[in-house]
Chain A
Amino acid sequence: MISASTVMTGSYDYGEVVRSILIAIAASYAALDLAGHVTASSGRVRVAWLTGGAIAMGVGIWAVQIKAWLAFRLPVTVDYHWPTVLVSLLVAGFASAVALYIVSRQEMDRVQILASSLMMGGGIAAMHYVGVRALRLAAVARFNPLLVVLSIVLAIVFSSAALMLTFGLREQTKGTALRKIGSAAVMGAAICAMHYTGMAATTFMPSVAPPNLFHAVSISLPGSNGVVIVTFIVLGAAILTSSVDRQTEAEVRRLNERLEQSVIERTRQLAAANEGLRREIAERQRTEEVLRRSEDRLRSVIDTIPALVWSKSPDGSADFLNQRFREYTGLSEEDGLGEGWLKAIHPQDRASSIDEWRAAFAAGEPFEFESHLRRADGEYLWFLFRGAPLRDETGKIVRWYGTTTDIEDRKRAEEQSRALIDAIPQQIWSGPPDGSLDFCNGRWRAYMGLTLEELQGEGWQRMLHPDDRERVLKAWRVSVMTGTPYQQEERHRGADGQYRWFLARGVPLRDAEGCIVRWYGTNTDIEDRKRAEDELRKQKEILQKIFENIPVMIGFVGKGGHIELVNPEWERRTGWTLEEVHEQNLGTLAEAYPDPHYRQMALDFVTMSTGEWTEIKMRVRDGRVIDAAIAVVHLSDGMSLGIGQDITERKRTEAALQDARANLARVTRVASMGELAAAIAHEVNQPLAAIVTNANFCLRELAGERQTFEKLQEAIAEIVNDGTRASAVISRIRAQLTKDVPERAELDINEIIQDVTKLLRNELTLNRVSLRTDLDTHLPRLLGDRVQLQQVLINLIMNGIDAMRNLAGRPRELLIKSAKNPDGVLVQVQDSGTGLDPEHVGQVFEPFFTTKPEGIGMGLSISRSIVESHEGRLWAESDPRGALFQFTLPTQD
């Protein structure tokens, strides 16, 4: 029976408790460490590691228990039944082995965790309670069942936790020490917690019966410490072994891997080296063979190839000239080597050649230049020298090798093509794709008076006219950029400073890919064309302006009579616009010439295009009829050009002028008649006045009473005198009118007739008299006064016109005829009037005889005086068909 008063109270030695906890932690650490080895190893090693681990851990757990027991002090002596203690040690070791085995597996699932936890927890609990059986003391152990269960559960729970921690930490070698220590601490604490719980579940009741001390031992303090020390030694050995083993193992693994790698690598290298070696050997063998063979061949080749081959030492002296070279130049080996070969260079080229060589050698770069080389026969031909340096391993030039090639044909072809390019009458240029210029032919250079150097690049731009410059360069840039052909008209300055127009053209030359390789171009002199164009434009403008502004109607008529073009004056005068004319065309003609007959005449006139001027009438748009003077000429393209002038106004003016002239003539005639009358009146009235006065005196005398005979006689005598005087006055006046002293000049009467008919043309037209002339063109010339004879003819023609003025029903015709006559020249003026009254025929030449209302009767009288003063004769004849006046004039001889 257990009662509270009988329960033995124990106390704990806390130092022992701490020690037990430390042991637990150390054991846990060892277990964790060993678990990794178990996992990493296999076979017997695994079994060894598992066994070792189980021992170490079992000892640890067991030591904890021992230590825990030792920490528990009871008021009685406690002894230990050592076989039971050993059994508990075995249980601890078994549980540890199971646990280690489980956690050392590659994988762990929940069931396994649970199972191993049960096993381990059960093992620990079993160890504990078995341990309790080992106690030999004067008391009876009683167990609190609840705490027992709790201790077992705790053992299981802590075991699972420890297992999982261990599983997570195995195979870790680096950076896990702290975690491992942490885990070990947890596990240690768990073991202790379980243990002390188990202890708490056990109570001791005092018993009078002495403990069975068979096989019992007392564990003294030193004994207790011995347990601890042994335990630590076991654990330390286990951990050390584990640690060393682990490091060694990792190192070995690493080394192994590296070794394997390098073995593979080395093997491959060896294989490659082997292959290379084999190839190299084969190549070398072949090369040697080839070399050997080619060396022989080369010798013969170098000496036989149709090229001049040489080599020179770096100082420039020749050390080899092939056979061909020597043969060609005629230089022996001794002559040619060293500087001797220079003798074959044309003296003219020698200096420049040496310069070229020197420059090339100094630069150490392959080179080429052209020079004249003397043939053995002394002729110099163009050759191309090409050389390249041979260098040793250090890059030092050891020798120069080169060839000299005959380029005479190429040179000649070049020169020919150059000459050709220079000779053609075209400016030619070319340049790289960037739009600069690097070639232009002699023609262009000569035009500009510039050298190629001055023109190259962008130098050519300086000859552009400042006004064109921007446009030209822009267009050229565009062409260069887009690759489109260039074409511009531009002015270029010549050497003389004058600009001329050129048509510049440029086209790109492209390679197979279509990239521009070069530009080629030409400049064509278009100055003359430009000038001609300008001139043409100017002329055209002038003609256009004339066409538009001249107050003359101009029209172009096509072949069918269609009006193609008319000028503004035509439009103004006719009222039709060009558009209307185009629309109506022949309709316009119909409007202008309503009478088909006249229309045809107008068309015919246009078609014939004789160029003669004629006067026409045409109806214009507003219905007026205008007079026009027109002429039509043929143009080379079959069209006709019509030129016309509206002469309506002129006609009207002329008519008005004619009227005015006629009026003036009449006024003049009246005025001169008045003058004449005044003269006559004064001159004749004087004697008449005297006569009348004297006569009146006589009458007065006779009527008087006394007459003085003498006085009457005197008066009558005066009357007679004055009568005579009056007659003389008339004669004098007539003489005055006929001019006293006529001029005498050689003249042609036909000319006078023509002059007069011209003067009187309007007079004739106005009176609708048609004039016919029948003139003998072979008349002798005569002496006379031109003005007086004109006066006579005017008189006769005017009389004829006057005679027909009131003629009706008969044609009014006037015939003027000149002919040779026995007396000299005969001139007749014949009208178609009613003729002279037979009884007047004798009177017409008498002064003051007239049948005309405004006539004074002097015309014919004076005319006769004039003709007579020319020693000619003027007379009239008449018949019913008209009057005929005629006069003769003696010729010079």
Chain B
Amino acid sequence: MTEAPPIAFVIDDDPSVRRAIKRLIGSVGLQVELFGSAQEFLHSKRPDVPSCLVLDIRLPGISGLDFQRELAKAKIHIPIIFITGHGDVPMTVRAMKAGAVEFLTKPFRDQDLLDAVQFALARDRARLQREAEIALLRVRFESLSAREREVIARVVSGMLNKQIAAEIGTTENTVKVHRSRAMEKMQAKSLAELVKMVERLKIPFENAL
């Protein structure tokens, strides 16, 4: 699978600053896309590649910090690097708590920004990979029969085959068959692996029990 080239998005109302940042990030071979406002960014079509957002705190309309919250609400998990003309400590804390990668005060050192961008892209790349794995696990899990899911849910919670058989009203052998079939479908080599898989899927088995 060939990896798509990552992109750094920059939102700043000052075109001069935007251009300077694009020039700087572009100089290390990264693709840069510029936006004058948050709306512009939201309305743009963004490729599903590792990416990061360089965001000015003071923006026309919505502020950078509020925009960060909105993105989180919309489940857009793009790493954010804040830049600001003058930042204060509370503002920084708030941004970092909300998951910002870096908080840079203008005028910033060129290397600081570049490092932050690289770090953010790496984090986003990992995120994308994780999301892909979970998607695969979900497909496998979808292939399980209802009975198999019942058995798996109880296996993961640590019940013995016999207990499971008694609870769902079948024989121990039948449970064993379900179990081995499910593990096969999930491509889990061990029980521990199965448990990990189920955890990553964050399936609310409690409901199934």
Q: A residues engaging B (CB < 8 A)? A: 677-678, 681-694, 696-697, 700-701, 711, 715, 718, 721-722, 725
Contact = CB atoms under 8 A, between A and B. Distances in A.
Contacts of A701: 27
Interface stretch (B12-20, B68-76, B163-171): B12-20
- Which of B24, B107, B109 has the most C-beta atoms of chain A within 10 angstroms of its own C-beta? B107
Determine the main DSSP class of A at the interface with B: helix
A377 B83 CA distance: 142
Interface in B33-86: 58, 83, 85-86
Given A685-B85, A711-B23, A715-B23, A696 B16 contact: no
A690 B86 contact: no
A687 B27 contact: no
B107 A691 contact: yes
Contacts of A725: 16
A681 B85 contact: yes
B107 A692 contact: yes
B110 interface: yes
A685 B20 contact: no
B21 interface: yes
B24 A689 contact: no
A678 B86 contact: yes
A689 B86 contact: no
A694 B58 CA distance: 21
B8 to A, nearest CB: 14
Given A688-B107, A689-B107, A697 B85 contact: no
A689 B23 contact: no
22 contacts: A677-B86, A681-B85, A683-B85, A685-B85, A686-B14, A686-B16, A687-B16, A689-B20, A689-B106, A690-B14, A690-B20, A692-B107, A693-B17, A693-B23, A693-B24, A693-B108, A694-B20, A694-B23, A696-B109, A697-B20, A718-B19, A725-B16
A15 B108 CA distance: 210
B14 A696 contact: no
B86 A718 contact: no
Nearest to A693: B20
A669 to B, nearest CB: 19
A691 B23 CA distance: 12
Given A678-B86, A685-B107, A715-B23, 17 more contacts: A681-B86, A682-B58, A682-B85, A682-B86, A685-B86, A686-B106, A688-B106, A690-B17, A691-B20, A692-B106, A692-B107, A693-B21, A694-B20, A700-B27, A721-B16, A722-B16, A725-B16
Given A696-B110, A700-B110, A718-B16, A686 B85 contact: yes
Contacts of B27: 697, 700-701
Given A694-B20, A715-B23, A718-B20, A689 B83 contact: yes
Interface in B77-125: 83, 85-86, 106-110, 113
Contact of A690 (B16, B58, B109, B113): B16
Contacts of B16: 686-687, 690, 718, 721-722, 725
Contacts of A697: 20, 23-24, 27, 110
Contacts of B20: 689-691, 693-694, 697, 715, 718
Nearest to A694: B20
A691 B86 CA distance: 16
A682 B58 CA distance: 8
Nearest to A715: B23
Give the 5 A-B residue pairs with the shortest CB-CB distance, closest first.
Answer: A689-B106, A692-B107, A681-B86, A685-B85, A693-B20
A721 B23 CA distance: 16
Contacts of B19: 690, 718
Contacts of B23: 693-694, 697, 711, 715
Contacts of B109: 696
Interface in B145-201: none
Nearest to B104: A689
